[in-house]
Amino acid sequence: MIRSRNPRIDVDELERRIDAELARDPDAAGGDERLARLAATVHARAIESQLNFAEQRSTPRSTWPVDLHVPFISSSERLKKALLSIMSLAFHDQYEANNALIRSQREMLALVQTLQERIDTLESRLETERATTRAQRIAHRLPPTVATAAPTVATTASPTVIPSPSTTLRTGSVEGPPPS
Amino acid sequence: MKVAIVTPWYGRELIGGAERLAWELAHALVRAGSDVDVLTTCCRSFLDDWASNYHRSGVSNDGTGVVLRRFPVDTRDRVAFNRANTVLTTMPRISLRGDHNVLDAVQTRAFVNENIHSRALQAHLSEAGSTYDAVIFVPYLYGPTLSGVPLVADRAFLIPCVHDEAYAYIEPVRAVIDAVRGVLFNSVGEEETATAIYGPGLLAKSRVIGHAVEPVPPPPAPIAVGSFAPHRSRYVLYLGRQDSSKNIDFLIEAFRTFRERRVGSSLQLVLAGPRSAAHSGDGILDLGAVSESAKAALLTYARALAQPSIHESFSRAIYESWYARRPVMVHGECRATSRAVEDAGGGWIGTTLEDWVRMFAAVDESADEAVDALGEHGWAAALDNGAWDVVARRTLDAIAMRLAPPAGPRIENLVPLGDAGIARYAQSLTEALNASGADAAVSIAGSAHARPNARTIAHVNGASAPVPADIYVAHDGELPAPAQGRPVFAPSHGIAAQLEEAGIVARVLHEAVSPAQWQGLRPAHERWLDGKDVLLSIAPLGADEARRLLDTFVAYLGFVRDARLLVFSEDCEGDAYETLLRERAELDLHNEVVIVGDAPAERYAAYRAAAVALAVGRPLSVASAVTPLWFDLPIVALGDVTVMETIEACGIVADTFDARRMAALVRIVASDARIRAAMVGEGRRVRMRYAPSVVATVVLEALGEPRHTTQTADVGGG
């Protein structure tokens, strides 16, 4: 909810534009992994702060709001206490339901964070394995002298490698077809 | 008052804007009772050879009281000057940024040294400069001003006639702006342009004096201009020099596009003014230079006037049109004209070609009554603008206020012991009063240091001991008994409301926040002017708020990958600082999140580089909330008490924190020119409530020491 007393700003239109901006899925962050991870972190924090807010408000009220003025009631402490007790009783089930929902959301959040960590672990393991595999492939495909040579060296030592300007070999970072 | 006007070319016959201004102002100042010397060169005009002496040197009096002193011009290296001038005139607008210097040292030297100069004029200023009370330089970019100002800086006033052009960004011009005692502007829009270039410190010594335009009387009977009968035609009028620097090509292109889309339209575009080659096209009529009577007829019967130029500090044509009750179309990139139209409601503002096509359509299709109504608004603004005698009076007032404000009363601000907030408020009030001529000081209530025979302002809170005073400022909604019957002020609307509930009527006296602290400052560096979106945090932070700020910034990075967050070091101390550094490291945001040092030049650089001010921390001080407004920054904030009183009136306030929504909002504010303009425009109005001169005037009036009504643009020092 935003507001402004600036007569030249249409707050409703601005709210719609914010929704539209968010609908463009900024979390995707144009495929930038670092930003995607940052965005996920912010998301999790936002959920957590909303849950904290909900938790603060989910307990029955024990004091009368200072800015709530109700004729007759505001001037009597007894009436105020009685009314608060009635409210607490009437909304007892609702409080229970709210608390259960908050707990379940917390569990869900913990689960998401665990999954996120597992994804991170798997990603890094995958990356390590991929790098190892690549290194092994290179070692298998190239004679030892070439494997450590300057990147632009073309070779005819192995009949399966056809170097070209676009597939010039770089030690440790070859992106090419697997050896036949 | 003895006044000198220094201008490179002078004469009744000269038609340039600055030349006419110098002539009219000189005579108006004489009529206002001043002794006026005009110090100028023997060069004939801007269009002549600047090293050629056409007029005879010496002193003459034209019979009106203006003493004219002409001095011979010096020889110069035209080639070197033209080389530097070409660099400036062909510079892309994108290079023109705030504090960025646009010309290298060699070319800057060539531009200044090989400009029009008169060593004799400089010698006169050196010898006789101190005999004048004030020396007014018109305009800013020629030799007599660039080399003359340093000789009489303590009494130098500049009427710059500046618009957003490359000349305004060169270092010697900045030095002149820094050096002069006061700057006098033709229009509010011109002042806004200058503030954007030179920073808000300028506002502490500037004033808008206006620029008068005499109405063009309508012809007694319809007349024809050649074969063209204005009274029988529907046309938009362009009035003035027809050259590309006036954006005439853009106007013609827009009109052609309009006619292509509305083939059946009878609306014409009539061009009147000197030109090198005639323009033609469907519906375009080029009359060339016209007589005064033809000009009057063209203005009287036009449907509207078009002023497409983006290089104006003031447009006479607009006011001539408004005197004829005709609305105007102006370009949104020219602050002087667009601000005038915006304030008056006397026409249309458009920036893109499409905007202009739409404006032509509006002129064509709107009912006559609607067009006439806009013209009436313009007419009211033209009348309000006043004649040259009014401009002369404003000029003399502005000069007098800067040289020696009228001596005010001795005032003692009595503050309770141990309340830093009240002490800060009282100190800012003291500085504001002193800048307005009073002799004010702060002392602890009940101490022996209070000066005798002083008027007293008691700053009180609930714990204050009763103290007799002339004025009371209640800082927490409670007042001691002696306040009965005395004027009572509250520092905010919230406290004024509390007092009202207790049956005490209090006026709001805002804390003074002066732009004067930024006067003469240059940014510490240009590192933050690399094209990235810069968000500036303006709220004090705790650990939680620091995390919240980073969350918002990270979400912002989701929208804009190249962005930077600046945080003032004084806003994040202790836990907040550690949290900020730790989280910055965890999130790998070393390059994006920058802690700004306490040095004034560093803070100045941050304010100047920022695109949006962001407040998602603890409650703001009034100074933190208002300072960004002096830098024309739009503010997005989480709601708190100060925010509701300051920022909500111009900026945008979020009730609850949601990092992604906040980031999306900041993104919109940073990228949408229309919303930015709306926020900055209102911000300019809001900040004036905190201007020292406004605050001081309220207090002095309450003390029975009336002052001249403070002009919107007169901010005062501090």
Q: Is B220 inside any structural domain? A: no
Question: Is the minimum CB–CB distance between A22 and chain B shorter than 8 Å?
Answer: yes
CB-nearest partner of A1 from B650, B655, B679: B655
The mean of the pLDDT values for chain B is 90
Distance from CA of A37 to the nearest CA of B (A): 9
Residue-wise pLDDT tens digits, B363-374: 999 999 999 999
Closest to A58 measured CA to CA, from A50, A69, A47: A50
Q: Determine whether the interchain pair B675/A9 forms a contact, defined as Cβ–Cβ distance below 8 Å.
A: yes
Q: Determine whether the interchain pair B659/A9 forms a contact, defined as Cβ–Cβ distance below 8 Å.
A: no
Tokens describing residue B644:
């509701």
pLDDT for res B301: 95
> What does the alpha-carbon distance between residue B491 and residue B489 come to, in Å, rounded to a whole number?
7
Q: Does one domain contain both B10 and B157? A: yes
The mean pLDDT value for B427-436 works out to 92
Q: Does one domain contain both B76 and B169? A: yes
Closest-approach residue (CA) in chain A for B664? A18
Q: Is B478 inside any structural domain? A: yes
* Mutate which: B343, B652, B674, vs A, most A CBs within 10 A: B652
* A32 contact residues in B (CB cutoff 8 A): 561
H helix runs in B593-672, sequence order = 600-609, 622-630, 641-645, 659-671
Residue-wise pLDDT tens digits, A34-76: 777 777 777 787 788 888 888 888 888 888 887 777 887 878 8
Domains in chain B: how many in total?
A: 4
Q: Does one domain contain both B502 and B578? A: no
Q: Is B215 inside any structural domain? A: no
The mean pLDDT value for B426-436 works out to 93
The mean pLDDT value for B295-299 works out to 94
Q: Is B426 inside any structural domain? A: yes
Closest to B458 measured CA to CA, from B169, B449, B446: B446
* Mutate which: A10, A11, A12, A18, vs B, most B CBs within 10 A: A18
Is the pLDDT at A128 greater than 70? The verdict is: yes
> What does the alpha-carbon distance between residue B531 and residue A37 come to, in Å, rounded to a whole number?
25
Q: Determine whether the interchain pair A1/B682 forms a contact, defined as Cβ–Cβ distance below 8 Å.
A: no
- Residue-number span of the structural domain to which B427 is assigned: 410-514
Q: Which of the two residues, B327 and B453, has the higher pLDDT score?
A: B327
Q: Is A163 inside any structural domain? A: no
The mean pLDDT value for B475-487 works out to 77
The identity of residue B245, as a single letter, is: S
Q: Determine whether the interchain pair B561/A32 forms a contact, defined as Cβ–Cβ distance below 8 Å.
A: yes
* Mutate which: A15, A42, A51, vs B, most B CBs within 10 A: A42
Domains in chain A: how many in total?
A: 1
Question: Is the minimum CB–CB distance between B583 and chain A shorter than 8 Å?
Answer: no
Question: Is the minimum CB–CB distance between B543 and chain A shorter than 8 Å?
Answer: no
Quick one: pLDDT band at residue B97, thresholds 50, 70, 90?
confident
Q: Within its chain, how far is the Cα of B571 from the centroid? A: 29
- Residue B683 sits at the vertex; the CA angle it makes with B314 and B194, to the nearest 5 degrees, is 35
pLDDT for res B539: 93
Q: Determine whether the interchain pair B654/A2 forms a contact, defined as Cβ–Cβ distance below 8 Å.
A: yes
Distance from CA of B210 to the nearest CA of A (A): 26
Question: Is the minimum CB–CB distance between B615 and chain A shorter than 8 Å?
Answer: no
Q: Is A154 inside any structural domain? A: no
Q: Is B125 inside any structural domain? A: yes
How many A/B residue pairs have CB atoms within 8 Å? 96
Helix or strand (DSSP H, E) at A84:
helix A77-90
Q: Does one domain contain both B238 and B307? A: yes
Question: Strand B67-71's sheet: what is its strand order?
Answer: B58-61, B67-71, B35-41, B2-6, B134-137, B156-158, B182-185, B206-208
Maximum average pLDDT range among B273-277, B556-560, B626-630: B626-630
Q: Is A68 inside any structural domain? A: yes
Q: Is A78 inside any structural domain? A: yes
pLDDT for res B281: 80
Helix or strand (DSSP H, E) at B530:
none
Q: Does one domain contain both B655 and B589? A: yes
Question: Is the minimum CB–CB distance between A57 and chain B shorter than 8 Å?
Answer: no
pLDDT for res B706: 64
Q: Determine whether the interchain pair A26/B652 forms a contact, defined as Cβ–Cβ distance below 8 Å.
A: no
Q: Does one domain contain both B595 and B648? A: yes
Residue-wise pLDDT tens digits, B668-686: 999 998 899 899 989 999 9
* B639 contact residues in A (CB cutoff 8 A): 3
Residue-wise pLDDT tens digits, B370-429: 999 999 999 999 988 778 999 999 999 999 989 987 788 899 999 988 888 899 999 999
Q: Does one domain contain both B419 and B508? A: yes
Longest dimension (CA), chain A: 100
| Contact (CB, 8 A) for B340 and B317 | no
pLDDT for res B419: 86
Q: Is B155 inside any structural domain? A: yes
Question: Is the minimum CB–CB distance between B658 and chain A shorter than 8 Å?
Answer: yes
Residue-wise pLDDT tens digits, B626-644: 999 999 999 999 887 677 7
| Contact (CB, 8 A) for B306 and B287 | no
Question: Is the minimum CB–CB distance between A10 and chain B shorter than 8 Å?
Answer: no
Q: Is A172 inside any structural domain? A: no
- Other Cβ atoms within 10 Å of B567 Cβ, number: 28
Q: Does one domain contain both B63 and B31? A: yes
Q: Is B717 inside any structural domain? A: no
pLDDT for res B100: 77
pLDDT for res B417: 86
Q: Does one domain contain both B184 and B318? A: no
Q: Does one domain contain both B87 and B132? A: yes
Residue A150: C-alpha distances to residues A142, A158, B103, B655 (Å):
13, 17, 46, 61
- Residue-number span of the structural domain to which A45 is assigned: 11-129
The set of residues, in sequence order, having a beta carbon less than 8 Å from that of A179 and lying 6+ positions away, is A137, A140, A141, A160
Question: Is the minimum CB–CB distance between A69 and chain B shorter than 8 Å?
Answer: no
Is the pLDDT at B256 greater than 90? The verdict is: yes
The set of residues, in sequence order, having a beta carbon less than 8 Å from that of B658 and lying 6+ positions away, is A46, A50
Q: Does one domain contain both B603 and B665? A: yes
Q: Determine whether the interchain pair A46/B660 forms a contact, defined as Cβ–Cβ distance below 8 Å.
A: yes
> What does the alpha-carbon distance between residue B661 and residue A21 come to, in Å, rounded to a whole number?
9
> What does the alpha-carbon distance between residue B656 and residue A3 come to, in Å, rounded to a whole number?
11
Q: Is A35 inside any structural domain? A: yes
Q: Is B223 inside any structural domain? A: no
pLDDT for res B709: 45
Is the pLDDT at B98 greater than 80? The verdict is: no
* B559 contact residues in A (CB cutoff 8 A): 21, 26
Q: Classify B158 as helix, strand or coil.
A: strand
Question: Is the minimum CB–CB distance between B153 and chain A shorter than 8 Å?
Answer: no
pTM of the model as a whole: 0.77
Q: Kindly report the CATH number assigned to the domain that includes residue B681.
A: 3.40.50.2000
Q: What are the φ and ψ backbone dihedral angles of B591, each rounded to 5 degrees?
A: -80, -25
The set of residues, in sequence order, having a beta carbon less than 8 Å from that of A112 and lying 6+ positions away, is A44
Closest-approach residue (CA) in chain B for A8? B678
Closest to B102 measured CA to CA, from B163, B160, B162, B166: B166
Question: Is the minimum CB–CB distance between B614 and chain A shorter than 8 Å?
Answer: no
Is the pLDDT at B263 greater than 60? The verdict is: yes
Q: Determine whether the interchain pair A46/B682 forms a contact, defined as Cβ–Cβ distance below 8 Å.
A: no
Tokens describing residue A103:
């707990």
pLDDT for res B81: 94
Residue B216: C-alpha distances to residues B27, B286, B322, B346, B378 (Å):
20, 21, 10, 18, 14
Q: Does one domain contain both B344 and B438? A: no
Is the pLDDT at B94 greater than 80? The verdict is: no
Q: Determine whether the interchain pair A6/B555 forms a contact, defined as Cβ–Cβ distance below 8 Å.
A: no
Domain termination site, one of B467, B490, B514: B514
* Mutate which: A2, A3, A6, vs B, most B CBs within 10 A: A6
Tell me how many helices (H) and strands (E) chain A has. Answer: 5, 1
- Residue B113 sits at the vertex; the CA angle it makes with B109 and B115, to the nearest 5 degrees, is 115
Q: What are the φ and ψ backbone dihedral angles of A135, each rounded to 5 degrees?
A: -60, -40
pLDDT for res A31: 54
